[in-house]
Structure formats: C-alpha cells, structure tokens
Amino acid sequence: MRVAPPIRLTPEQQEALEQCARARSLPARLVERACIVLVAAEGKQDKDVAAELGISAQKVARWRKRFLSLGMAGLEKDAPRPGRTPSISASKVKRVIQKTTQEKPAHRTHWSTRSMAAAVGLSEATVRRIWHKHGLKPHLVETFKVSTDPHFAEKLEAVVGLYLNPPEHALVLCCDEKSQIQALDRTQPGLPLKRGRAGTMTHDYKRNGTATLFAALNTLDGKVIGLCQERHRHQEWIHFLRLVDDATPEHKQLHLIVDNYATHKHPAVQRWLKRHPRFHIYFTPTSASWLNMVERFFRDLTANRLRRGVFRDVIELVTAIEDYVEHHNQRPKPFIWTASASDILEKVKRARKALLNVQSV
C-alpha cells in the first residue's frame, strides 16, 4: 500500500493555515488548499482527506506535494501552464516586424495593415495585433530638426541657465512674434455640435487680412505682454520693446530670450538697446525655436482660439487675440522647464550620431 509523505507543521504554519481556512474574503481555492494541508497534517492519507473534503485524491496528493516542496508560498500561486499553442508562428511574427521596420511596400512610402496583410498572407486584424504588441506605428511620422549652429552648446547653456537659475532682481522674458495670423471667414456657416455628430466647418474660407502678435512671456508667473501690429519689421519690434519697457518695473533688469530673426538684430534695434542698458538679449540657437517657451503659449493660442475661429475682418481677429491674452493673464500658469543643458546636449549628440549612421548607409 502506498503511504503519503507526512506533513509536520510549525506553530506559525498551523496558525497561518487555520486563519486562511476560516477566512471569508480569500479566494475559495486558497481556502480549500489550506484545509487540505490541515487535514493531511493530522496524519490522514490522501483517500481519507479526499473523502472528508469531497474532492479527488489526485488533488489532495498534488497540494500535499506542493506544500512539502514550497511551503506556504506553494499554496498561493498555481503552477505555470503551457497555454494554447499560438496560431501564428514566431517566424511569421518576425517576418512582419522585419518587413515593417526594414522594407517599404512597392510604390508606397509606408505600410498599412491591409498592404502588410497581403504581403505576408495574414489577416489585417492579425497584423494590427502584432504591431500593437511590438509598439509599431508605420502610419505615424514625427518631425525633427537638429541644430547646426556652431555655438549651439553656449547658447543652450545660457538659455537653460536662465530657466533653471534665473538671476535675482531681474525678469526673464521669452519674446517672439507670431506673424501672418490670418483672419479667416468660412464660405458657409457650420452646423453646431449635437449628440452623435461633431460640429462642422467648411474646408474653404475667405481671407480677410493678417495680423502679427508680438508677445513676451514672463517665466516667473506666466503672464504675457502682447501687442498686435500689422507688420513685423524692426520698427514694430522696437515699438514692442518700448511697451515691454513701460510694462515692467524700472528697477529690474530684463533678460529677453529671442530667436535669430533678422528683425531682432537690425542696427536700429542695436542702437535702441544701447540706450536701454537694462535689456539683455539672449539668442536661441539656429533651428531651435523649441527653446523659447513663448512658443508654447502660441500653440495654446492657436489650438484654443484661432484654428476654429471665424473672423470677418482683422479687427475681429485682433480683438479675439487681445481678449485671449487678457483672459490668460487673469489666471496665469507658468510653464516649468525641467530639462538640464547636459541632458539636452546628450540627446542632440545621439541624434547627430544617428544621422551620420543613416547618411553613411
């Protein structure tokens, strides 16, 4: 006669198993396993335990063996199971990934689920699942621009230094102009939003003139000094600088972050700056407008007020922009810069290295 190996419990194991067997919030399978071990620890054989608990002797033998080999931890988790055999082989999955990342379809710039399905002999849904599992999105493309400015590092450190460690008794202002803002009127009125249907807007429009917004974003509190003008020459830029001069406390130094637009470097502008020594200009690197935080404000202005706006003339456009700036300044929220100059430089180095590798292929 086959005799089951005995179970000897420590006082701690006995107490833990009894608590588990009495518990009402634990899974039923865990309670049952605790009961199996407790009854088996009384010296009973698998048949007797099975008859007492109303289960099969095979189940009792399995959990007796699991407890003896793994202890309490063996009762908490089921053993890993092989699961269903995948209907799509690993070689086919590898082929889909390889074609997606290393090849292009004939006469097309990128793969779609349908074109890939036809190429590898799988269903469109299967291709979609493989792409989703491996994080592949051939239908999307991200834009980038690596600066070629020979003084990129110096300019980057100066600008980021102003963001992370602004000087005392001074204001840091991110300045730029959003030029050629069009006053667009739709050729037909759109339908309003309603349940089950999005709002509508005609794709064609009428041009009713343009305006330029000059803006200075205060990095300390997020307030914006704005001025709308018809053009964006150096004369308008000087006019805007005068506005900034009047709108800020006289005793504070002003550190302005601007881009490399020629208007900002005009000789007349240079002469004006010499007469106003509290203005200190910091130019962002070439092709690095993302360093200027006022661009974030321009993005919000476009998304929240301009893109879907309808303006019958420039006056309506300017009024809408000024109202948006005024509303923004009532509850301003500063944009917080977190990236250090060293982290950005390291990322730029990796980008340049990757570009060189692509060009050498």
Whether residue 263 sits in one domain with residue 239: yes
The dihedral over CA atoms of 246, 261, 164, 219, expressed in degrees to the nearest 10, equals 40
If you search the block for the tokens 């109303």, which residue do you land on?
54
Whether 139 maps to a domain, the answer reads no
Residue given tokens 């033998």 in the structure block: 61
Q: Do both 319 and 258 map to the same domain? A: yes
What's the rounded Cα separation, in Å, for the pair 254 and 240? 14
> 248 vs 171, 236, 332, CA distance in Å?
9, 19, 16
* Helix, strand or coil, per DSSP, at residue 64: helix
Closest CA to 224 of 206, 247, 208, 203: 247
**pLDDT at 147 (0 to 100):** 87
What's the domain count of the chain?
3
Same domain, 189 and 161: yes
In a domain, 361, yes or no: no
pTM for this one? 0.71
Report DSSP state, residue 304. Answer: I
- Per DSSP, 197 falls in state B
Contact 158, 282 (CB under 8 A): yes
Domain that holds residue 103: 90-133
In a domain, 114, yes or no: yes
Q: How far is residue 29's CA from residue 35's CA, in Å, rounded to a whole number?
A: 10
Residues 169, 59 share a domain: no
Rounded to whole angstroms, the Cα distance separating 358 from 361 reads 5
CATH, residue 23: 1.10.10
- Give, as one character, the DSSP assignment of residue 110: S
Query: What confidence score (pLDDT) does residue 99 get?
Result: 94
Q: How far apart are CA 199 and CA 219, in angstroms?
A: 36
Per residue of the chain (361 residues), give pLDDT as tens: 578 888 888 889 889 899 988 988 888 888 999 999 999 898 899 898 889 999 999 998 999 898 888 888 888 877 777 778 778 888 999 999 999 999 999 889 999 999 999 999 999 999 999 999 999 999 999 888 888 888 999 999 999 999 999 999 899 999 999 999 999 999 998 888 999 989 998 989 999 999 999 999 999 999 999 999 999 999 999 999 999 999 999 999 999 999 999 999 999 999 999 999 999 999 999 988 899 999 999 999 999 999 999 999 999 999 999 999 999 999 999 999 988 888 888 888 888 887 777 666 5
From the centroid of its chain, how far is CA 20? 44
CA 42 vs. chain centroid, Å, equals 59
Largest CA distance in the chain: 108
Question: Is-contact 203 180, C-beta < 8 A?
Answer: no
**In a shared domain, residues 166 and 312:** yes
In a domain, 208, yes or no: yes
Same domain for 20 and 109, yes or no, is no
